[in-house]
Structure 1
Amino acid sequence: MDEEGTWANYPIPWYTLSEISEVSNEAQKIHGCIRHGHILIHAHAHDSHTTVAVGTYLHRTGKSVHLRGEDHLRRVSDTFDSPAQALFAFEQVHGAEMRPGPAPLTDTERSAAEARTPLALATAKPEPAPPEPETVPVYLADAGDHDVLLDKFLNAHSEFEKWRTWSDETTHAIHESQTLRIERVHETQPHETAWTVAAYETPVSDRMWVLTATGATPAPVLQWMLNHLADSDGWDTAIDNPVDEKTVTAATQPLSDAG
C-alpha cells in the first residue's frame, strides 16, 4: 500500500459508495482535461502496476501536477507551482521508467474513443433522406425476385406440389388435379423464357393451352397471374366448357383494351 492509502491502482476496500463516486468523478474531470488539451502531459512512467504522469494545467490555475492511476481511478497525487519543480520531483522518483509525453490509451479509453467515432460522423454527415416513391405503370415495374414470388405462392396454395429437377435448375409446381403445371427455370437471361404454364384436359391428354413469361416480366404481373391460376375459374379445362372463339375473345379482352 502506498502513502496515499491505495493498493496500487485499486481503492482501499473500505471506501464508501460516496467516496468511490467522488474518486470516479474526479478521474472523469482529469480525463476530460487531458482529452481536450487543458492539461499538457510532459512525461509518464509505470509504477506498481499502474501509470503515473506529470503535467501542467493550461487553462485553469496554471499549476503543475503529478497524476496517478488509470481510467476511473486517475487522481492528482501532488501539486507544484511550476513545471520545472514538477518535472524535477517526478524524475527523482521515476527517472528509470520516465518516458516523454502522455501514456498510451488504456483499453477502456480506446473503446470509448471508438464508440464516439460513429456518433461524430453521424452528426457531421447526416444520412440523406430516402427518395420519394415513384409510381410507374405495371408493365414498367421491376422484375423483382421471381424465386421468392414462387415460394410465397406455393406456401399459400397447398393444392400445388413442388418438384425440383435433378440439377436444381428448374422447379415444377403441379396442381393436385395434374391438369395444370407451372415450370420455373431459375437461371435465365432477362428476355429468355423463365416461366411456362400449361393446362391439360386430363392428366394424360395433350396440352390445351400454354403461357410463357420471360425473366424480365414485372413482379406484379407474375403475382397477378399466379393468383389467377390459383382460382379454379381461371383455367377450367372441363370438356363441357370448350375453348372457342368466344372464350378466347373474353380471355384476351384485357390485352386488347391495353393495345
Structure 2
Amino acid sequence: MALVQPFTRFVALGDSQTEGVGDPDDNGGFRGWADRFAGKLAAANPGLLYANLAIRGRRTARIRAEQLGAALALRPDLVALIAGMNDLIRPRFDQAGTLADIEAMLAALTESGARVISFTFPDIGSVAPFVRPLSGRVRTMNAELRALAAKYDVTLVDFEPVGTTTDPRAWANDRLHLSPLGHEIVAQAVADTMAIPGADSSWRDPLPPCVPQPPLDRVVDELRWVAEHLAPWVGRRVRGRSSGDFVLPKRPQLTAVTPDFLAGWNTAPPIPS
C-alpha cells in the first residue's frame, strides 16, 4: 500500500497498548508503539501534530464513549484504533457488543475523512499458557475485525499470522503488555503497512534464537506470573477496579513531534537473549 498523502494530524485511540504501558520513558511515563510510529511518520511528514487519547484498562464501550468524540474534535487525517482485548479476556465476553462499538467507531472515523488504521490481535494463548483457552476467541474476533476493515476500507495491520508478535521477548513480564521491543515491532509494522519511507517488512522476520529455559525454571516463572500479575488482575476485576482509574490521556491535544520528543529512542531496543 503506497503512502498517497502527507499526514498532518495523527490521533491514537485505545487502551494500555496504545498508551504505551510496558515501554517506559525516562520521565516516569510511557512511550509505546504510537509514539514510536509518530516519530517515524514525522520524519516523512515534517510538521506532524500528534495526540494520544488512550488509557490503560479501557474496554471498547468506554473508548467509544470517552475517546471517539474527543478524537473527531481534533479533526485528524490519520487515526489508529486498537480496542477489544480488555473485553475479550473477560469471562463474560460480549463479542457482539464489542464488535458493535468497534464498528461504530470505524464508521464515524472513516466518515470524517480520516485514514483509519486498525489491527488484529496476536494469539495471547501463545504468550501466556494460562490463557490458552482464549485462543479460539482471538481467532474468531480477528476474522470479524478483518471483515470490518474491508467494509470500511480501513488499513489493517494483521498481526495474528506473524510469529514475531508472540515471541516472549516482545512482551513485558506481565505478558499483558508489550515490551519496548514489542512496541517497536508494532511501530515498524504500522510504518511498513502505511509504506512510510524507510520502512520495510523486517518486523516479520523471526527473532534470533534464545537460550532454552529449563523445564523447572518455566514452571517457577509460571507460578511467579500467577502470583505477581494474574492474581492482582483478578483482584481488580472482583473489586470493580481498573488500572486506568484516575488516569488521564498522556497527550490529549495535538502537539508537534519535536526533536526533543524523538531524542534518545530513534533506534530499536536491543533484542534480549
Could you state the TM-score of these two structures normalised by the residue count of structure 1?
0.23
Q: In proportion to residue count, which structure has more helix?
A: 2
Q: Quick check: which one's strand share is greater?
A: 1
The normalised TM-score by structure 2 is 0.22
Greater RCO (Cα-Cα under 8 Å, separation 6 or more): 2
Which structure would you say has the larger Rg? 1
